[in-house]
Amino acid sequence: MKNEESLKRLKIVEGHLHGVIRMIEEDAYCIDVMRQIQAVQAALNKISAGILEDHLNSCVITALRGEDPAERVRVLKELTDVFETATKV
């Protein structure tokens, strides 16, 4: 997912999030608020997956094909760290 597409999607999510805030301010039904929060989370997950795919197809492939073993280890460690952090949420 290119930066322009990511930014476009993030701006849509931002608008959706403002809608959720408004729902809470207006004391909307809890389940409706939760469904909207889940929609925001799903949209963010899709954006994140697109960014990850781009990273794998560019930075990671470049590092794995490169001559520097330390760079390969560093890039793979970054991926491990990202997934460890994601599972803590």
What predicted TM-score, i.e. pTM, was given to this entire model?
0.86
**So where are the chain's domains?**
3-88
**Confidence at 75, pLDDT banded by 50, 70, 90:** very high
Rounded Cα gap, residues 20 and 40, in angstroms: 9
Question: Cα 36–85–30 angle (5° rounding)?
Answer: 20
Read off φ and ψ for residue 80, nearest 5 degrees.
-60, -45
**Confidence at 1, pLDDT banded by 50, 70, 90:** confident
Q: Residues 52, 58, 64, 70: what is their CA dihedral angle, to the nearest 10 degrees?
A: -80
To the nearest whole number, what is the mean pLDDT of the chain?
95
Report whether pLDDT(22) > 90.
yes
Fold that domain 3-88 belongs to in CATH: Methane Monooxygenase Hydroxylase; Chain G, domain 1 (1.20.58)
Residue bearing tokens 């997950």: 45
Rounded Cα gap, residues 2 and 33, in angstroms: 30
